[in-house]
Amino acid sequence: MTTDFYGSRLRIGMILASKNTVAEPDVNAMLPEGVSVHTTRLHLVDTDPTALKKMTDDTEQAAALLASAEVDLIVFHCTAASTIDPEMGQKIAQRIQRSTGIASTVTSEALIDALNTLGAKKIVLLSPYPQAVNDAEVAFFSHYGIQVLHEVGYIPVKGQGSPSAQPAEWQRRAMTLKHPDADAYFLSCTNIRVISIIDALEKSIHAPVISSNQAMLWHCLRKGGIEDAIPNYGKLLRSH
């Protein structure tokens, strides 16, 4: 009997915001052999705190669709929604697990796990979010004992959205935020194109760099018992 099929080692179910066009290609680029990702979506109308919370209303229905694909693990993958208050991510994961019986996690849990694994207690945050969402994210990290030394919300050209910003632009902006006391740098948002610059950025700023998509995949792989070292996407996936 052959075990050579998609997801033969691990099937990850991923719940995304409806606007997201980056997470799927990012994650598929980083996947190790034998791991597959299967996606469904929740409707998101805007990136303000009210809309982000509203998006989570139909979480159970989205999770049920993934459960029918017999995934091994479900991740609610939206940085802003899962960090909008310190307990939001935990509540979402509990709802998914309760309704499906499948092991579940969220982006916010992945971020804390990644930063703790890297020993990072002081970070620099770069996102595409409005200030209210960045403020919530700073409060979230503070709640879990991580100090944000500096945060910037870079809003790409209006009407084009976060995916329109080139990876080189994120790299350039991150370089301007270099801080002597930072243990790590976080490029926040599942819908920005940054995985291709993580290695080069780490070499330039001499500190670990995490992104939402990279940290989420790392966390899901480790939860699923996959310990593969994955090159080209930063210290987290390569060494931990």
User: How do the domains of the chain map onto residue ranges?
Assistant: 10-109+214-235, 110-211
Q: In the prediction, which pLDDT does 155 show?
A: 77
Q: How many CB atoms lie within 10 A of CB 83?
A: 28
**Distant-in-sequence, close-in-space partners of 153: CB < 8 Å, separation ≥ 6:** 127, 128, 129, 130, 131, 133, 134
Q: Alpha-carbon distance 52 to 29, whole Å?
A: 27
Q: In the prediction, which pLDDT does 161 show?
A: 66
Q: Alpha-carbon distance 73 to 12, whole Å?
A: 5
Q: In the prediction, which pLDDT does 36 show?
A: 98
Q: Is 232 helix (H, G, I), strand (E, B) or coil?
A: coil
Q: In the prediction, which pLDDT does 164 show?
A: 87
User: Do 10-109+214-235 and 110-211 agree at the fold level?
Assistant: yes
Query: Which residues of the chain, if any, have pLDDT below 50?
Result: 1-2
Q: Alpha-carbon distance 95 to 69, whole Å?
A: 18
Single-letter residue type at 190: T
What is the number of alpha carbons within 13 Å of residue 102 lying toward its C-beta? 25
CATH class for the domain made up of 10-109+214-235: alpha beta
* CA angle at 155 for the pair 15 and 112, rounded to the nearest 5°: 45
What letter does residue 121 receive in the DSSP assignment?
Answer: S
CA distances to 15, 55, 74 from 61, in Å: 11, 12, 13
Q: Is 175 helix (H, G, I), strand (E, B) or coil?
A: helix
Specify whether the backbone of 213 is left (phi greater than 0), alpha (psi in -120 to 50) or beta. Answer: alpha
What letter does residue 75 receive in the DSSP assignment?
Answer: E
149: Cα separation from own chain's centroid: 20
Strand ranges (DSSP E) for 110-187? 122-127, 147-153, 184-187
Single-letter residue type at 4: D
Q: Alpha-carbon distance 145 to 115, whole Å?
A: 11
H or E element at residue 12 = strand 10-17
The CATH code that applies to domain 110-211 is 3.40.50.1860
